[in-house]
Amino acid sequence: MSADANVSEGGLRLLSILEALCGYAANGATNSDLAQAVKTSPPNVTRAMAVLITKGWARKSEDTGRFYPTSQYTRQCFRVLDDFERLENRISDTKRSMTGR
């Protein structure tokens, strides 16, 4: 169990698997690839992938059996960029209103 009682070991493992999966976006990852990447067992990967697939953040190819992150998950990074862009626009608007530039 983790040092923080509010953090589950399984939750941390799931996030580690998701992080590892992003490194296989082009060619996909096998269950074994992910298990080796996060130093866990294949059954743990299977359980984590079931959650990620249910959430819509991962998919499993019917042809190859490989796992891939979905666009629903990868779009999250663009949400972060959009938030920074909104902040930059607010700062620019404030600067213009206060300096005339």
**Domain CATH number, residue 38:** 1.10.10.10
The pLDDT confidence band at residue 51, using thresholds 50, 70 and 90, is: very high
Query: Residue 28 carries which DSSP code?
Result: -
Same structural domain, 2 and 41: yes
Same structural domain, 6 and 29: yes
The pLDDT confidence band at residue 74, using thresholds 50, 70 and 90, is: confident
Same structural domain, 65 and 17: yes
SS3 40: coil
Same structural domain, 9 and 39: yes
Percent of the chain clearing pLDDT 70 (strictly above): 97
Q: Which structural domain range is residue 45 located in?
A: 1-69
Same structural domain, 17 and 61: yes
- Could you give the number of structural domains in the chain? 2
Length of the chain: 101
Backbone phi and psi for residue 29, each to the nearest 5 degrees, phi listed first = -125, 145
The pLDDT value recorded for residue 3 is: 63
The pLDDT confidence band at residue 89, using thresholds 50, 70 and 90, is: very high
Is 60 exceeded by the pLDDT of residue 18? yes
SS3 7: coil
Is 90 exceeded by the pLDDT of residue 22? yes
Residue 13 · residue 44 · CB < 8 Å: yes
pTM: 0.77
Same structural domain, 51 and 75: no
